[in-house]
Chains A and B, each alone.
Chain A
Amino acid sequence: MTGFWDQTSAFLYAAILASVPLLYGTLGEILTQKAGNINLGVEGMMYLGAVFGFLVGYGTDSLVLTLLSGFLAGAAGALIYAFLTVTLKANQNVSGLTLTIFGTGVANFLGEKAKMNAPLGTAFMSDRLRSFMSPMDLGAFSRLPVIGPLLFQHSIMTYLALMAGVAMHLYLKRSRPGLNLRAVGENPAAADAMGVPVAAYKYVHILIGGGLCGLGGVYISMVTCLGNWQPNIIAGQGWIAMALVIFASWKPLRAILGSLVFGALSVLRLYIPKSLIDIPAALFSMLPFVVTCLVLVVSSIRMRREHQQPAGCGVNYFREER
């Protein structure tokens, strides 16, 4: 029985580890879409965050600078997107996809370059820097039986992500700017008439959203890939985050739950005994997307307004065109 429990808790712990980058990406995209912009550049912004976090961490050995540069890199990608779509009224889908192509290119380029220039052809983050990502000691909590190791022995980035999720929930539901933001996303013309500075709201939230995606990228290069640069490091996790936004029906708290589910799905295969069920890996990786399609279809059939994408998504707001 202890063997079973050990196995289960190891599985849950791995699920939490795998869910963190997804949660960052999802929260970032939720914030972006709440502003009425669909940014298909999540994957690209995660790449930008991953590579700049990696390079700065590799060069400076400072945790603060690593996280900051990852955030800023993601936000810089989002700035390009915001400038194109909000100010220059370019098509959102095309701008976002281009950001993904661009971010992937920049990250693979700079990462590859760093490896070429490294002494042994492999660039590693120092152990000292990575030790900041080892589980935090939360005193008595961490030593609680059962839930201690599971819930209170995580790295700082896991707790940051959770806090970001809760904070975003409160912000959207309980604050004035949050309400304004939702108005901007649902009906920018009405928000404009109310006196809400539409463009400013869009910029701020798209940028912060991009920064969150960037942090997800930092997590992948520091924790998931153990501080070692690999080509195509994000490997589609940005797209899973896109799926999660739908799965969570644009709600931050559900995003926390959803990322746990998707994180669990991504590691589940390693923890089921092969003798029990032997499902091919590829079908497992397919699962999140199948589930997302179902959610997308079901929510559109039920036509529940509160479970839909913000109404203003995909359409650029041009005041003179009302």
Chain B
Amino acid sequence: MPKRPPLSFHLVQRGEIPRLYAWGYRLLAVLFALMTGGVFLAALGYSPLNIYGTMLKGALGSPGMQRETIKLTIPLALTSLGVLLAFRMRFWNIGAEGQIAAGAIAASYFAYFQAHLPTAVLLPLMALAGILAGGLWGLIPAWFKTRFGTNETLFTLMLNYIVMNLITFLREGPWRDPAGGFAATPRFPKGARLPELPLPFVGNVHIGWIVTLAMVLLLFLYMRYTKQGYEIAVVGENERTARYAGMPVRKIVLRTMFLSAGICGLAGMLQVAGPDRQLTDAVAGGRGFAAVSVVWLARLSPFGSLAVAFLFSVMQKGCSMMQTEYRIPASMSDILQGIILFCVLGAEFFLQYRISRRKEALA
């Protein structure tokens, strides 16, 4: 009897897949992730359905809760937009955390030391300072990358901790509130706080929500319909092609990274002038990293990022509710976020590759 050859598989890259099919597939992956989270909860002796129900209620159950969820969505969505721009260019900006912080510091400077200005001047100035500070902070790794090929993943990552410690330094030292018992910065004067505007169905939320929505639209148009947006896509696809086509790659990288980091800086400004009303160590609060997950789940789409950022914020807000109601630690939100992303990252493989049995070699 002839020996049967051992089973052997190999991978074949798929062609284009219909978009609807692909999104349905990703949705399945998210559902699978929520089920996995449910099994984890069941193993701890909770009823997953009750828990997920409480989570939704805690995040969206009342206008007050909805406002809190929106306030979480604003900085995360905005940061995601920034990160997305760099990722489109395959520039691994892992430094959003620090760029948020840089923007927050610069904005806070004006709030603390130029508060005599009228609000109509002060707030735009703070926003501008935030964008500039964030952008310049992001330009540093971009410049070294284009000039010397310095690894941007590692560089942007390290820069995070420099600027975060700078906040701690300012809070404990020069900017410390002399009146407070703790080492904390003073609250912003009234003129340096963002005004609130009613969001349909939800009520008053600081104007960051308008900025975020506008930015989503703007970024979508920028990437789809402008020359610069096209350049980013080409550089991201293949740097050599871009160079061959005569594109000034270096300039494009620097410009895009400035914009990417500037948007993150703006997110920092909105956070200090909006909900925080003072400069704290938690101004970035892990959003710079979460944003990487968001844009990846959203396949680098601006509208998708907004939706995913909202979903993550619902989870975060909902999980803080579970802590009070079921004594389930709020870190459940991080676990769920991790599981969802693991599942979607894994699922992506099956959209890109097909496993096929290896045919016998035609000897």
- Interface set of A (CB-CB < 8 Å, partner B): 38, 40, 80, 83-84, 87-91, 93-95, 97-106, 108-109, 112-113, 116, 236, 239, 242-243, 246, 280-283, 285-286, 289-290, 292-293, 296-297, 300-301, 303, 309, 314, 318, 320-321
> A289 near B162 (CB under 8 angstroms)?
yes
Chain B residue nearest to A290 (CB atoms) is: B162
**Measured CA separation A242–B158 after assembly (Å):** 9
Q: Are the CB atoms of A98 and B154 closer together than 8 Å?
A: no
Contact A292 B13 (CB under 8 A): no
- Give the most central of B150, B333, B338: most A CB within 10 Å: B338
Q: A89-B349, A285-B168, A300-B148 are in contact. Are A246 and B154 (CB under 8 A)?
A: yes
Chain B residues whose C-beta falls within 8 Å of the C-beta of A243 in the assembled complex: 158
Shortest distance between the CB of B294 and any CB in chain A (Å): 10
Q: How far is the CA of A239 from the CA of B336 in the complex (A)?
A: 23
The secondary structure that dominates the B interface is: helix
User: Would you list 12 pairs from A and B whose C-beta atoms are within 8 A, ordered by A residue?
Assistant: A83-B346, A89-B349, A101-B293, A105-B336, A108-B334, A109-B332, A282-B168, A282-B173, A285-B168, A292-B158, A293-B158, A293-B162
Fill in one digit per residue for B5-48: 1 if any A CB lies within 8 Å of its CB, else 0.
00000111100000000000000000000000000000010000
Contact A286 B166 (CB under 8 A): yes
Q: Is the CB of B161 closer than 8 A to any CB of chain A?
A: yes
Pairwise interchain contact B338-A98, C-beta atoms closer than 8 A: yes
Residues of B within 8 A of A102 (CB): 334-335, 337-339, 341-342
Rounded to whole angstroms, the CA-CA distance of A89 and B173 in the bound complex is: 47
Within 8 A of A (CB), among B151-170: 151, 153-155, 157-159, 161-162, 165-166, 168-169
Known: A88-B349, A97-B94. A296 touches B162 (CB 8 A): no
Closest 4 pairs (CB-CB, A-B): A102-B338, A105-B334, A282-B169, A282-B168
A235 CB, nearest partner CB in chain B, Å: 11
Q: Which residues of B contact A89 (CB under 8 A)?
A: 349, 352-353
| B92 interface contact, C-beta 8 A | yes
List 18 additional A-B contacts (Cβ < 8 Å) besides A300-B148, A300-B151, A320-B10: A40-B157, A90-B346, A91-B345, A93-B92, A93-B153, A94-B296, A95-B342, A97-B289, A98-B345, A101-B293, A102-B339, A105-B333, A286-B166, A292-B158, A297-B150, A300-B150, A303-B148, A320-B13
Please determine whether A286 and B342 come into contact, CB atoms closer than 8 angstroms: no
The residue of chain B having its C-beta at the shortest distance from the C-beta of A103 within the complex is B338
Q: B293 contacts A97, CB within 8 Å?
A: yes
Please, which residues of chain B bring their CB within 8 A of the CB of A94?
A: 292-293, 296, 341, 345
In the complex, A259 Cα to B27 Cα: how many Å?
Answer: 44
Closest to B44 in A: A113
Residues of B within 8 A of A (CB): 10-13, 44, 92, 94, 144, 148-151, 153-155, 157-159, 161-162, 165-166, 168-169, 172-173, 286, 289-290, 292-293, 296, 327, 329, 331-339, 341-342, 345-346, 348-349, 352-353
Q: Return the chain A residue nearest B155 by Cβ.
A: A296
Docked-complex contact B345 and A283, CB < 8 angstroms: no
Known contacts A101-B334, A105-B334, A239-B161; A113 and B329 CB within 8 A of each other: yes
Q: Which chain B residues lie closer than 8 Å to A320 at the CB level?
A: 10-13
CA–CA, A265 to B296, complex, Å? 36
Q: How far is the CB of A277 from chain B (nearest CB, A)?
A: 15
Q: Hey, which chain B residues are within 8 Å of A112, CB to CB?
A: 329, 331
Q: CB-CB < 8 A to B296: which residues of A?
A: 91, 94
* A80: B residues at CB distance < 8 A: 342
Q: Which residues of A contact B166 (CB under 8 A)?
A: 282, 286
**Are B341 and A296 in contact, CB atoms less than 8 angstroms apart?**
no
Bound state CA distance, A104 and B331, in angstroms?
A: 8
**Complex Cα gap A43–B295 (Å):** 21
**Residues in A whose Cβ lies below 8 Å from that of B12:** 320
| Inter-chain contacts of B11 with A (CB < 8 A) | 318, 320
CA distance A93 to B154 in the complex (A): 10
Q: Which of chain A's residues has its CB closest to B345's CB?
A: A90
Q: Within 8 Å CB of A293, what residues of B?
A: 155, 158-159, 162
Q: Are B335 and A98 in contact (CB under 8 A)?
A: no
| A94-B293, A100-B289, A106-B335 as given contacts; A297 in contact with B148, CB under 8 Å | yes
CA distance A194 to B357 in the complex (A): 24
Which residues on the B side are within 8 Å of A95 (C-beta)? 342, 345
Chain A residue contacts of B169, Cβ below 8 A? 280, 282-283, 286
Q: How far is the CA of A58 from the CA of B295 in the complex (A)?
A: 39
Residue of A nearest to B334 (CB): A105
Q: How far is the CB of A217 from chain B (nearest CB, A)?
A: 16
- Find B158's partner among A84, A289, A321 (CB 8 Å cutoff): A289
CA of A20 to CA of B332, assembled, Å: 30
- CA of A95 to CA of B345, assembled, Å: 8
Which residues of A lie under 8 Å from residue B286 when comparing CB positions?
Answer: 101
CA distance A95 to B346 in the complex (A): 10
CB pair A281–B172 under 8 Å, yes or no, is yes
In angstroms, how far is the closest chain B Cβ from the Cβ of A279?
Answer: 10
Using Cβ atoms and an 8 Å threshold, which residues of chain A touch B331? 104-106, 108-109, 112
Closest chain A residue to B11 by CB distance?
A320
Q: Closest Cβ of chain A: how far from B359's Cβ, in Å?
A: 14
CA distance A80 to B335 in the complex (A): 14
Assess the B161–A289 pair: CB atoms within 8 A: yes
- A44 nearest CB neighbor, chain B only: B338
Residues of B within 8 A of A87 (CB): 349
- A307 CB, nearest partner CB in chain B, Å: 12
Q: Contacts A239-B161, A282-B165, A283-B165: A296 and B333 contacting too (C-beta < 8 A)?
A: no
- Alpha-carbon gap, A40 to B334, bound state (A): 16
In Å, the complex CA distance between A188 and B183 comes to: 52
Shortest Cβ gap from B101 to chain A (Å) = 12
Cβ distance B329 to chain A, nearest Cβ, rounded Å:
4
How far is it, in angstroms, between the C-alpha of A297 and the C-alpha of B349 when the chains are bound? 35
Q: How far is the CB of B299 from chain A (nearest CB, A)?
A: 12
Residues of chain A with a CB closer than 8 A to B161's CB: 236, 239, 285-286, 289
Q: How far is the CB of A61 from chain B (nearest CB, A)?
A: 24
The CA-CA distance from A87 to B9 in the complex, in Å, is: 13
CB pair A286 B162 closer than 8 Å: yes
Bound-complex Cα distance A290 to B164 (A):
12
Contact of A84 among B10, B149, B345 (CB under 8 A): B345
